[in-house]
Amino acid sequence: MNKPQHRARKRFGQNFLHDAGIIDGIVGAINPRPDDHLVEIGPGQGALTKQLSTSACALDVIELDRDLVPGLLAAFGANPGFRLHSADALKFDFNSLAGDGRPLRVVGNLPYNISTPLIFKLLENTAIIRDMHFMLQLEVVDRLAAKPGNKDWGRLGIMAQYHCAVDKLFEVPPEAFDPQPKVQSAIVRLAPWPVSPWPACNTGLLRQVVQAAFAQRRKTLRNNLKGLIDIARLEALGIDPGARAETLELPRFIEITAAIHGQC
């Protein structure tokens, strides 16, 4: 008797990737090697896991839905490099996987409801990460890869680009999933800078500055940064206090952060 097929659960944001061409494209972009240490977030029914595991790499997978765990163990448990963690990726300690000294290569088809907080969590762990390849809602990828001067430029893109080189690789249509989502998706690569192109910066304070600057997008820097830096200091940096945050390039946020840090 055939086992009943797992039904995608809305509360987990599940949309299972099944398009073989898309899967091949993702694996080709990752190009896993036997000496890699991969971490797959949300393997689901194992469509991508199957392709990744053929590289003979070390492969840790993190799956929240306990109903999917038996199937994953049955399919891949005999693989000596495979380890399954039944856990919430938002609460998972990624440092616990870095004991072998190899930088982690993180992969995942991320549900929309956790994608942004999970990316922020991973950006705090870039010291142990070589690269990240994610399937995300197209809107999120556009925000990650955005440039100043448009509505997509904001906290997510600034902090991602501070820590990583960001490359939008290709778009994925709804038909590639079961069930089909109502939105377009895309694959993005985030590769932590081996040597940062930016001046040294207090990253905690940078996050605070960027969050404040974009707290109310229609308001000016004068209003949003009130209490962090005064108008005179902004003008001394050559920054117009009447400008909106979306007009500033990343180095300008770093300059503001450095000016505030110098006052601490």
The 164-172 sheet, strands edge to edge: 82-86, 58-63, 37-41, 104-109, 129-137, 185-192, 164-172
- Single-letter residue type at 104: L
108-143 per-position pLDDT tens digit = 998 888 999 999 999 999 999 999 999 999 999 999
Q: Are residues 175 and 210 in the same domain?
A: no
3 has a pLDDT exceeding 70: no
Q: Are residues 163 and 56 in the same domain?
A: yes
235: tokens are 């003008």
Question: Of the residues 192, 211, 244, which one is the last residue of a structural domain?
Answer: 192
Domain span including residue 106: 10-192
Q: Report pTM.
A: 0.91
As a whole number, the mean pLDDT across the chain is 92
13-39 per-position pLDDT tens digit = 457 788 999 999 999 999 999 999 999
Q: Are residues 236 and 259 in the same domain?
A: yes
192 has a pLDDT exceeding 90: yes
User: 172: which strand partners?
Assistant: 185
Distance CA 243, CA 40 (A): 41
b/e 222-251 (16+ beta carbons within 10 angstroms → b):
eebbeebbeeebbeeeebebeebbbebebe
- Domains in the chain: how many in total? 2
Q: Are residues 89 and 163 in the same domain?
A: yes
Which residue in the block uniquely carries the two structure tokens 């206090």?
Answer: 241
Distance CA 86, CA 12 (A): 14
Q: Please give the average per-residue pLDDT across 214-227, as a whole number.
A: 95
| pLDDT for the residue 100 | 87
Q: Are 191 and 20 a contacting pair, CB within 8 Å?
A: no
